[in-house]
Structure 1
Amino acid sequence: MKRRPEDLVVFLGPSLPADEAHRLASCRVLPPARQGDVWRALALRPRAIALVDGLFEAQPSVWHHELLAAMDAGVAVFGGASMGALRAAELSAHGMVGVGQIFEWYRDGVLVDDSEVALLHVDAEFGYQPLTVPLVNVRHVAAQARAARVLKPKQAQALVTAAAGIFYQERSWPRLLEAVTPKWTAAARAGWEGWFSRGVEDLKRLDAQACIRAAAAFLGSGAPVHPPRGASRPSPSSLVRRRRLADDVSVISGQAVPSSQVLAALERAPDSVELAEAGLRRALLAGWARSMGLVPTEEEIQGAEAEWWRRHPIRPAAREAFLVACGLDGPGLRRLCEERALERLALSHAQRLLPDGPSWQEALASEARLQGRWVEEARTVAGSAIPRPVR
């Protein structure tokens, strides 16, 4: 199967220039992730996502539920360097793959504060170039200087301590060195300056490169995505479901259409009340069935899905595009079909779900009377009962 750039979606900002990411792998580079961006990216049908950079503070950060939804949709999710390292450490038990030293520090509890990876950077117009130094980079450089015997252990620790005391939006190498080097001997300063002037490693950059390479290597291997054994997927709360509904997109002829706009159009439709009431009845009946311990079989779920496709006669090759146009993916369609199967289970057990519950015939009669169908059928039956005249 021919690779598309969208097979690998990379959320990237100050950790690595976009053109370097493109040199490392065929990929679609998106800006640093904010809340809702991973849900929206699923409309691109990626096979893997590499989360490197993400927004925080001024905008809501990428949500754990989005990454879980991506993995549930069969997308391999990798994280490293910055926001990706944080989320990977939090979600590694659920199948997210962490890459790099920064991820390992968070995973192992060496680092616990999110601010370790924070930095100030310019906007997209200037390529998200960093303006300040993240604390993780200072830790890395201090460790290397100590290993090279450029700094003594106390000097290396003092460098990190001083960096931690400077607000991330103001932390720069000149300001940091101005705070610590006056306390060093002339020989120590000379040794440091000679070593530092040759260039120091950017740990976030290295980890970002490793994260993208790992995701690209996974795609190249052709391996399927398997959640780890025992991994649990909590059912999304109503808050999460409503937020995803607002953030999702449908793709029509290559154009992304926000779900919020589609929903607004449906709310203005003449039959919006009927549509909503039908959806509510199904959701309530399915929830009731679950609470009663009813569980649909795989055959019943597949039957509901087959029925759905019969109502939408789309050729198999075009089904994936149709799902995207519906704002659905495979797991989303399965959830709808499971709900439909549960609804039918509830209806088929109606006499047992309530004390002295209604029968199927009673339900048929009451709905026919409510809709006026009863009198129509009664007239038809009455007409057919009148004997025809004999000539």
Structure 2
Amino acid sequence: MAKRKASGVNMHTKAMPPVVFLGPSAPAPDILAILPDATIRPPARRGDLYAYRILKHEIFLILDGAFGGVLAISPREVVDIVADGAVVVGASSMGALRAADCSPAGVHGVGVISRLFRTRRISSEDEVAVQYHEEQPFPPLTEPLINVRFALRRAYRKGLIATSEAEKMIAAARSLHFTQRSWSRIFKEAECHLSLEIINFLRDVDVKRADAVRAARHVARICSSTSSLPSSSAFHLFGLLDDGRERRGIDLIEDANRQQIETEFVEWLWLSGRARKLLGEDIGGPQKGLPTPLSAAWNIIDASGELEAELMRFDVFKRAIAEAKRCRLRPDPGDIREAEEQLAGVYGVGSWKELLTGEPRDADRSRRLKEHRNQVATIKCLRRRFLFPSDQSDRSREDLRWHFG
């Protein structure tokens, strides 16, 4: 019998080629130049990872994913195949989102966009959404908001545009639906008249494409070097795979006891800021003062089709806290500071202090926010210590609030 490494990659038989889910983020030749044997597939849909894992593929690069009229790839599916021993790398678009969602389970997030989602500097799918033709090779028809942000940032740094112009164009871009977002519309809505040289400079910035190339290189290193692979402990850190493929916890709605978890789950939605995105509401108090009653909030999220994904995020959050306690980890001041910055950014305020002293003024609210901050900081410590030991660059990152607000 061939000996198999714990990471799940067979070193004694010819491995199946990596599967790359690619759409408008980058042209296929960019990826094939780095991964010539890769299996290039259209943007990932619900069930695609399961299907290719069954075919014994072991390495997956998710760049783009379908959404809207079809079921998007779920965090549960990503975690399942990682727990099954596969390696998943995410970047650029849907891949960056799922890497941020599932990083505690061992998913590799690569590139600037993934880092921004992971640190909650950005949190909306609108940042990376574009309109594209459904037939290959998926050329983008609109401009992703994240490219607009970076293009304006670089132009500002080079002295090509003023801060006021950049802010007007960002506001215009954010006001446009992703299917209508283009540089021409942005210039028109912002009433900015730029030279052809500056316009060409802005159009040439493509962060999603650059991240896709970085991610392909990361996958190439994984394919060529066993030292790049995560250890088996990273795959099984939260007990996501037990004997007999038994799923534990509250990750499936049909296995969850709604009465037992409803209060804690919905309160987590408000404390984490996810209620802002899902319900359009800010935090009130714990239970009392919540803008939407607990059961109504659950039903609204269920009707939106996002309940399974949110339950999975909540499940991973709770498991991460439990694992950190088991390992007796304590966040350092840097972890606390990052957690405070993350929560302030989620709520759209300038600082942690402003969040604590904002309305409604309630001592219990402040206490719960501090408790949640400590939990977020503890997870950051866990991730840093066990999953991203070499990723220390975030500590010294520059302040991006003016264009990532």
**Shared topology, TM-score over 0.5?**
yes
Match of 1:169 in 2: 179
1: CA distance between counterparts of 2:181 and 2:192?
19
1:17 counterpart = 2:27:
yes
Tell me if structure 2 keeps the 8 A contact 1:137–1:203. yes
Match of 1:215 in 2: 219
What are the superposed Cα offsets for residues 186-242 of structure 1, whole Å, 9 maximum, x if unpaired? Answer: xxx23xx313325522111111111111111111112344243843425263859xx
Match of 1:231 in 2: 238
Match of 1:112 in 2: 123
1: CA distance between counterparts of 2:254 and 2:199?
50
The change in CA–CA distance for 1:110 and 1:67 in structure 2 (over 3 A counts) is same
1: CA distance between counterparts of 2:19 and 2:76?
18
SS of corresponding position for 1:24: coil
1: CA distance between counterparts of 2:181 and 2:123?
19
1: CA distance between counterparts of 2:188 and 2:54?
49
SS of corresponding position for 2:33: helix
Match of 2:85 in 1: 74
Tell me if structure 1 keeps the 8 A contact 2:21–2:65. yes
What are the superposed Cα offsets for residues 257-297 of structure 1, whole Å, 9 maximum, x if unpaired? Answer: xxxxxxxxxxxxxxxxxxxxxxxxxxxxxxxxxxxxxxxxx
2: CA distance between counterparts of 1:212 and 1:70?
19
Higher helix share: 1
Q: Which has the larger displacement, 76-85 or 171-180?
A: 171-180
Deviation at 1:74, TM superposition (A): 1.3
Specify which of 18, 31, 38 is matched with residue 8 of structure 1: 18
Deviation at 1:5, TM superposition (A): 8.0
Deviation at 1:114, TM superposition (A): 1.2
Specify which of 41, 44, 65 is matched with residue 76 of structure 2: 65
Match of 1:194 in 2: 197
Deviation at 1:154, TM superposition (A): 1.8
2: CA distance between counterparts of 1:179 and 1:150?
19
The change in CA–CA distance for 1:40 and 1:152 in structure 2 (over 3 A counts) is same
1:106 counterpart letter in structure 2: F
TM-score by length of 1: 0.56
SS of corresponding position for 1:197: helix
Q: Map residues 1-391 of structure 1 onto 2, 5 A cutoff.
A: 6-25=16-35, 26-124=37-135, 126-180=136-190, 182-183=191-192, 189-190=194-195, 193-198=196-201, 200-223=204-227, 224-226=229-231, 227-228=233-234, 230-233=237-240, 235=248, 237=252
Match of 2:352 in 1: none
Deviation at 1:152, TM superposition (A): 1.2
Deviation at 1:2, TM superposition (A): 8.6
2: CA distance between counterparts of 1:230 and 1:238?
22
SS of corresponding position for 1:7: coil
Tell me if structure 1 keeps the 8 A contact 2:63–2:212. yes
The change in CA–CA distance for 1:117 and 1:4 in structure 2 (over 3 A counts) is farther
What are the superposed Cα offsets for residues 129-174 of structure 1, whole Å, 9 maximum, x if unpaired? Answer: 1101111110110111111111111211211111000110011111
1: CA distance between counterparts of 2:213 and 2:192?
36
Tell me if structure 1 keeps the 8 A contact 2:165–2:192. no
Tell me if structure 2 keeps the 8 A contact 1:5–1:28. no
| Same amino acid, percent of matched pairs | 28
Tell me if structure 1 keeps the 8 A contact 2:132–2:138. yes
1:86 counterpart letter in structure 2: L
The change in CA–CA distance for 1:3 and 1:138 in structure 2 (over 3 A counts) is farther
SS of corresponding position for 2:113: helix
Tell me if structure 2 keeps the 8 A contact 1:5–1:27. no
Structure 1 residue runs without a partner (length 5+):
241-391
Tell me if structure 2 keeps the 8 A contact 1:80–1:207. yes
2: CA distance between counterparts of 1:200 and 1:30?
26
Tell me if structure 1 keeps the 8 A contact 2:15–2:58. no
What are the superposed Cα offsets for residues 333-365 of structure 1, whole Å, 9 maximum, x if unpaired? Answer: xxxxxxxxxxxxxxxxxxxxxxxxxxxxxxxxx
TM-score by length of 2: 0.54
Deviation at 1:90, TM superposition (A): 0.8
Tell me if structure 2 keeps the 8 A contact 1:120–1:131. yes
Tell me if structure 2 keeps the 8 A contact 1:8–1:216. no
Q: Which has the larger displacement, 140-149 or 219-228?
A: 219-228
